Amino acid sequence: MSDIPSTSLKGLRALVCGASGGIGAATARAFAAAGADVAILARSADRLEALAAELRAKGARVDVVVADLQDRAGLAAAVDALLAAGSLQILVNNTGGPKGGRLLDTAPEAFLEPFERHVLAAHQLVRQLVPGMSEGGYGRIVNIVSTSVYEPIPNLGVSNTIRAAVAGWAKSLSSELPPGVTINNVLPGFTDTPRLATLGAARAAREGTDTDAVRAAWVAQVPEGRLARPEETAATIAFLASPAGAYLRGQSIAVDGGRLRSI
């Protein structure tokens, strides 16, 4: 019988984007707990430094990268500085979702900023990191997207569009990456994060109700009977980043408590 593949990330180096809170911060914690050296990237220096201090207190090696995914020149320089210290084997593409609203009420220009942040920045990072991954024979790219890839979510028209673009980009890329270098999407369902709280407040205002009622309506759609914790999504990301995830490639995996109705 062959050995069971490891879920350890010891000896690997990861870059986690959008790590200042929510699923991104939970992913950085999961990676560090699994033994990875972690570079955490976001715009908020204070929140990154707080997370870095937490992880270092537990023995992790952490690099803090203050960068804006829309400033691609600055982003490239920051990542080049990381690569100067050694290759990165894991990349987590993650950033805040676009504003809500109906597509018919949305100006065409509203698509440009999120496309830059979600698609172009991710593509740039892949182009920077894949040569080192390929040379070392190990690479894991995980995109944190949304269940809207499968079922569009009402009043999130721009987000639905951009998330689908990311999924199409990743699937196309999956056939071009060399053996040992994989790309997959994780699709969070209703997850208890500040982003969901913001969407809940907007929905409550739009519908003339309160946030508790909105939350209850979301939970009612989930067979598991609750919202997800960011740590649960992070656990799936950590698995995909590990040697145990080696044969998963070009997949979009929902972590949604069974909410999606599609097969």
DSSP secondary structure string for all residues of 128-157: HHHHHHHHHT-EEEEEE--GGGTSPPTTBH
Asked if 220 and 92 sit in the same domain, the reply is: no
Q: Is residue 7 part of a domain?
A: no
Tell me, yes or no, if the pTM score tops 0.85: yes
Asked if 135 and 91 sit in the same domain, the reply is: yes
Query: How many residues does this entry show for the chain?
Result: 263
Q: How many whole angstroms separate alpha carbon 127 and alpha carbon 109?
A: 26
CA distances 136 to 3, 35, 129, Å, are 22, 18, 11
Looking at the DSSP bridge assignments, the partners of residue 64 are 40
Q: How many whole angstroms separate alpha carbon 12 and alpha carbon 180?
A: 14
Q: How many whole angstroms separate alpha carbon 112 and alpha carbon 70?
A: 10
Q: What is the pLDDT along the chain (263 residues), one digit of tens a residue?
A: 468 899 999 999 999 999 999 999 999 999 999 999 999 999 999 999 999 999 999 999 999 999 999 999 999 999 999 999 999 999 999 999 898 899 999 999 999 999 999 999 999 999 999 999 999 999 999 999 999 999 999 999 999 999 999 999 999 999 999 999 999 999 999 998 888 888 888 888 888 998 999 899 999 999 999 999 999 999 999 999 999 999 999 999 999 999 999 88
Task: Supply the DSSP symbol for 256.
Answer: S
Asked if 213 and 130 sit in the same domain, the reply is: no
Asked if 22 and 116 sit in the same domain, the reply is: yes
Q: Is residue 63 part of a domain?
A: yes
Q: What is the CATH number of the domain that holds 31?
A: 3.40.50.720
Residue 109 belongs to what domain range?
Answer: 13-189+231-254
Structure-block tokens of residue 39: 């570079």
Give residue for tokens 């209703």: 190
Buried b (16+ CB within 10 A) or exposed e, 194-233: eebeebbebbbeeeeeeeeebbeebeeebeeeebbebebb
Any idea which residues carry the catalytic annotation? Answer: 150
Asked if 38 and 88 sit in the same domain, the reply is: yes
Please count the structural domains in the chain.
2
